Structure 1
Amino acid sequence: MSSRILPMYEPRLHTYNVYAALFSIIAKDESYLPWFYSNFISIGINTCDDTLYFTDHFTFFEYGEGLTSCPWLEVYKPPHKTIYSQYSFNIKDAVTSYLNQNKYIWLYLDQFYIPQSAHYQKMHKEHSVLVYGYDDGASVFYIADNLDNGKFITTEISCRQLIKAWESDICEHFRRLFRVLNSKQGEYTLSTAHLRDQIEGYLSSKPMNQGIYWDQIPVDGPHAYVQNIQYWIFGHEVYSYIQRLIKQVKVMNGPKVLDVRIPHLLWEHKKCMIERIHYLNLGMHDLVSEYEKVVNHSLTIRNLTIKYNITKNDRILDEIDTRISEVVHTEDIVLRKLAELL
């Protein structure tokens, strides 16, 4: 009997499992921080599904030819023929073979077969999962995903459950996104000019139409729309779009609910920014105290969103809208000062 459990480190971001998985793999020490603080600055919302991301979201390991924007990560994309002919009905051997080489696996599983999922034995729903270990003796695999009410956790599932979750018909089109991930020693030099351009682009809502993600040929299948730039809104214009979504919820008939992931990512965005200011040793310019207001407002917006989904009190929507306007106003002032100092 054999086993292998790969290291998992505390992730810096949690809103989506793609962020948490990335940092769980690379955050062994702080050597990656220059890269981290040089990126994760702009945000974008896809108007097809109203999902908010850092604009770095799809540049790690899922799309294109397996390239990655992270210097601390190696990505291998097996050929489609290999995935569909060799892995489709032999996933256990494929995964354990990669794990024995100290490589993580990113693949899509049907949450109907994952006991920790809210969809377990209720609804078939595909979702990406990081596999970081196995134990033949216990007949289990170790996985990580946002399974605890959206919180990223590590857990285990039986070998039989993983096989069923992988072979489920609902995952057919997503098997092509099978990736092999390997941590490596990276190198990155922080550029203040790059930082300034990123911040100014965020404030001016500049479209992110270049880079490792946008320059690649769009994937086919159910995720193709995410690489069509006409469906995206970027930077500070995102907030106006979110306010329109809130107004739509207020007037709609039937079940009313706000997507908590949107304010949660905005809060993480603000936390990253204030960490960035500290990292650049610019706290003495009164930027921190001013930007803390933005962080606190963003946390309040996140908490009010949760409260609204419970109470359905429309007055909470008005308060969220007001606080979003305050975030935009204050952040614009502080980040313009920051850009001038860079």
Structure 2
Amino acid sequence: MNAFQLPVLNPPLKGFLRWAYTLSITSAHEETIPWYYSNFIQLSCTKKFLEDGRQYFVDFFRGKPNELNFNNPFLLTCSVNYTILENLAFDAWPKFFADQIRNGYYCVVFLDESRLSPAATYQKEPFPHHLFLYGFDWDESVFYASMFDHTGVYRNLQIPFREFQDAVQSMRQLLKENLTADHHTYFYKYEPHSPYPFDKTAAIDQLRDYLNGETHLNRINYNPDDEEAFGIKVYDYLQMYYDAVENNDSRLGDRNDVRHLHVLWEHKKMMSERIGYLVDEGIIPYDEELVEGYKDVTKRAMKLRDQYIRHEIREDKEVFERLRLRFEQFRDEEPVLLQKLITLLEG
């Protein structure tokens, strides 16, 4: 068998690759859907990005470690670093990963993405990143991979073996010169889980955490400190971030303005889809205020993201006033809607 592909689905969340990669595997299996809708409720963001110059991040939060590290119940996970792979001959890398794929393992390889021609960073500064491999064609000497391309679109494409090897070799050199840390290469095999019905308790706990601006997830292994804000409090730091952007604050580190708004929209979309799922499954009764309210929040969040994209193409200073207005609206409206959802779930 000279060509082989493992099943993947267009992932429902793409803001960060840890979600896109793992969910593209599990979303292809219907039995994972109740688990999916029991999760992805909480948000977190960095707080001290102006004080220490770190990049600002806002993202879904499912406790620590992150999703690449053994955090998905449907994925049998193993990981290796470059030290372990050191004795693997350079020419043997394509066959090694093709063999893992043939054995049912999706491969998430840590390499230098600037050596991959579809990447936005191609032939620019080194860019250590994870690449998702789900298939190969040995006759064509290509891997089937998923990644964000040079236009910023997440899609499936082909990576020639020679580019893959160049990216690996470049990463080896970066590590040898201590120019980056090794974030490991991961192997995932889909393992059917015991039945996982929708978990009302987990969902209610996360909803309450969101409303209270705190987290109780995985505290046995992770002690939240002053570095992160959670839930409804994320709006305060989103506003702080875009105020700094508007004022050209020199303390801002690397910027990714649109991604923050994209993740915000994904969160509202996910909440709206979850409510639809709960109604369809008979877990909660239909409530027009809740269903239509979250659909409206989702539409406004998407429009806000799109308006900012247009602002980056052709400057529109009024976009910052719209950001302030929307953040204030969401901060006021979401507690009412989510408290109603909690009440319906509690029955």
TM-score, length basis structure 2 = 0.86
Q: Which residue of 2 aligns with 1:313?
A: 316
After superposition, what is the alpha-carbon deviation per residue over 1:149-202, rounded to whole angstroms, capped at 9, x for unaligned?
332111111111001101213466554511111112123232222211110100
> Which deviates more from structure 2 when the two are superposed, residues 51-60 or residues 177-186?
51-60
What is residue 99 of structure 1 aligned with on the other side? Answer: 101
Paired amino acid for 2:15: T
Match of 1:223 in 2: none
Q: Which consecutive aligned stretches of 4+ in structure 1 deviate over 6 angstroms post-superposition?
A: 253-257
Instruction: Tell me if the contact between 1:18 and 1:57 (Cα under 8 Å) persists in the aligned partners.
Output: no
Q: Name the counterpart of 1:299.
A: 302
Checking the alignment, whether the CA contact within 8 Å between 1:143 and 1:155 is kept in structure 2 is yes
Aligned to 1:277: 275
Alignment of 1:41-120 (within 5 A): 41-47=41-47, 48-56=54-62, 59=65, 61-63=67-69, 67-68=70-71, 70-78=72-80, 81-86=83-88, 90-120=92-122
Decide whether aligned partners of structure 1 residues 325 and 232 sit closer, same or farther in structure 2, where only a CA change above 3 A counts.
same
Q: Does residue 1:178 correspond to 2:185, yes or no?
A: yes
The whole-number CA distance in structure 2 between the counterparts of 1:250 and 1:316 is 10
CA–CA separation in structure 2 for the residues paired with 1:150 and 1:44? 23
1:82 Cα deviation from its structure 2 partner: 2.0
For 2:326, the equivalent position in structure 1 comes to 323
Deviates more, 1:91-100 or 1:294-303: 91-100
What is the RMSD computed on CA atoms of the aligned residues?
A: 2.6
For residues 184 and 81 of structure 1, do their structure 2 counterparts lie closer, same or farther at Cα, with a shift above 3 Å needed? same
Shift of 1:230: 3.5
Does 2:16 correspond to 1:11? Answer: no
Answer whether contact 1:141 1:158 (CA < 8 A) is retained: yes
Alignment of 1:217-228 (within 5 A): none
After superposition, what is the alpha-carbon deviation per residue over 1:122-171, rounded to whole angstroms, capped at 9, x for unaligned? Answer: 23212111011111211111111122533211111111100110121346
Asked if the contact 1:134–1:140 (Cα under 8 Å) also holds between the matched residues in 2, the reply is yes
Q: Percent identity?
A: 25
Partner Cα distance (2:249, 2:271) in 1: 38
Tell me if structure 2 keeps the 8 A contact 1:96–1:134: yes
Amino acid across the alignment from 2:197: T
SS state of the match for residue 31, structure 1? helix
Q: Does structure 2 retain, via aligned residues, the 8 Å contact 1:125–1:170?
A: no
TM-score, length of structure 1 as denominator length: 0.87
Counterparts of 2:63 and 2:184, CA distance in 1: 15
For the residues of structure 2 that align with 1:163 and 1:240, how far apart are their CA atoms?
A: 44
* 3-state secondary structure, aligned to 1:230: coil
Structure 2 CA distance, aligned partners of 1:163 and 1:71?
A: 32
Q: What is aligned with 1:126?
A: 128
CA distance in 1, matches of 2:190, 2:17: 17
Unaligned runs of 5+ in 1: 217-226
CA distance in 2, matches of 1:132, 1:174: 25
Aligned match for 2:292, one of 289, 293, 308: 289
What's the counterpart of residue 266 of structure 1? 264
Q: Which residue of 1 aligns with 2:236?
A: 240
Equivalent pair of 1:61/1:179 in contact (CA under 8 Å): no
How far 1:76 sits from its partner (Å)?
A: 1.1
Identify the residue that residue 23 of structure 1 maps to in structure 2.
23
CA distance in 2, matches of 1:155, 1:161: 13
Whether contact under 8 Å (2:112, 2:128) holds in the other structure is yes
Equivalent pair of 1:83/1:175 in contact (CA under 8 Å):
no
Match of 1:194 among 196, 199, 202: 202
Return the match for 1:210 from 218, 242, 259: 218
Change (3 A) 1:79 1:149: closer
User: How far did 1:46 drift?
Assistant: 2.6
Shift of 1:81: 4.1
C-alpha separation between the residues in 1 aligned to 2:82 and 2:175?
Answer: 14
Q: Residues 11 and 121 from structure 1, CA distance in 2 versus in 1: closer, same or farther, beyond 3 angstroms? A: same
Query: Using a 3 Å threshold, how does the CA distance of structure 1 residues 202 and 87 change in structure 2: closer, same or farther?
Result: farther
- Which whole-Å CA distance do the structure 1 matches of 2:313 and 2:285 have between them? 38
Aligned CA distance change for structure 1 residues 258 and 120 (closer, same or farther; 3 Å): closer
In structure 2, stretches of 5+ residues that fail to align are: 48-53
